[in-house]
A and B are shown apart, each in its own frame.
Chain A
Amino acid sequence: MVPERSAGVSKYLLDKFLFTIDRDPALVERYRGEPRATVEWWEAEEANRILSCIADERSTWLAFDDVEREALATHDHVRLFELGAHPFLTLTLFIAMFERDHGPLEYQLAYGAALQHLSMPYPDIAT
């Protein structure tokens, strides 16, 4: 029996992707340059790794759905926000990838402006 996956688990995996990429300088560059390939590699090789465990003791059940995979593969921070990914993780990683292409605060302001259509309450980020 495979129980139906809950929305909370799905958000957890989005957050896990953002968290594990953000803390690794090489992965930040790889995700900036080749987003779709990085997401595919990460889902195949890393998504089920329990971070405090050896590789053999991995989970067996974590996967993105199509909407989540596409949002990550297209660097779509608006969609990630709508899906309930943790905003701090998304912001931190996206600043690391894209601030360098812009003037001071220009990227951060554009990032917020792209979310102007959203009103309170924001999507739930609880995992």
Chain B
Amino acid sequence: MAEIVAVIASTHHPFYYRASTAVGEDRPPFADEWVPKIEAFRETLTRARPDVLVMVGSDHFHQLWLDNMPQFLVGKAPFYDANWYNEEREFGLPRMTLAGQEDLSAHVLRGGLDMGFDLAFSNELRIDHSITCPIITLRPEADLPIVPIYTNIFAPPLPRPERFVALGKAIRELVESWPSDQRVAIIGTGHLSLELGGPRQFGEHGPDPEFDRRAVEWIANGDIDGCCREVTLDSLHLPGNATHGFMDFMLMMGVAGEGAKAHHVDSLDLFHTMEAYFTWYPNGAPV
């Protein structure tokens, strides 16, 4: 069976690509602190020597739209083109093409349906920065096949937080039951407290530093119970109007498992939102 060699949860900050590649006057003051943190985070994936990446993210109204909105969707395609005009325009993101791992996609879809998750699927999916940002930060060579999994954290009505955790647990079981000798890393990205388009946007810190502090503790300690006691669809409005993206972190806590302490924990207090990075090694840290 396949082996899960790393579980990684991260924020996906679309400014990183431009910040880290800018030079001279264009280079923002926070870039020199940010880049070493990302490089250390990248090393946690490199050390695990993955063959395949399962990538959990959320389409930001790019291909998925309100006339036909899935809650959870699995890509099953031989290739995924990536990034969109408005992401090139606003963030300077490059266009990319990533290979797909269709056999694992098919296994996740069949098994997920049989476990009670009515997963939507897509045979032609152009992915966005929720998946390409972690490729850029963690695997800039973009040389590994992926299985993209999209969640709806964006267009209410949304699934409840517990459902994200349950799907994360299911994804772990499904990957571990994939009849293959491949080494799989499961990577998911979301947000801590975040406000977009509202009165608290683009502040000196994330809109709710206290939420961020507690969220990092929940994730780092694998405290699924504590997190689920505090976090509801209603409560997530309070730290910032885009904070429902935190449910993708909850999904990744489900992948990592109850009580699973992260091997690598790091964060960076940027203006606008806090960055946070976590890596678990389910079978122990690689030597």
Contact = CB atoms under 8 A, between A and B. Distances in A.
Interface of A: 12, 15-16, 19, 22-23, 25, 50-52, 77, 81, 86-92, 95-96, 105, 108-109, 111-113, 115-116, 118, 120-122, 125-127
Contacts of A111: 197, 201
Interface stretch (B48-56, B58-66, B261-269): B58-66
A90 B65 contact: no
Interface stretch (B82-90, B130-138, B180-188, B209-217): B82-90
B67 interface: yes
Contacts of B20: none
Main secondary structure of the interface of A (DSSP, over half): helix
A126 to B, nearest CB: 4
Given A22-B86, A50-B67, A121-B237, A88 B199 contact: no
Interface residues of B, number: 28
Interface of B: 60-62, 65-68, 84-86, 89-90, 154-157, 195-202, 237-238, 241-242
A22 B242 CA distance: 19
Contacts of B155: 86, 127
A23 B68 CA distance: 18
Nearest to A118: B199
A121 B200 CA distance: 13
A118 B68 CA distance: 31
A48 to B, nearest CB: 12
A29 to B, nearest CB: 12
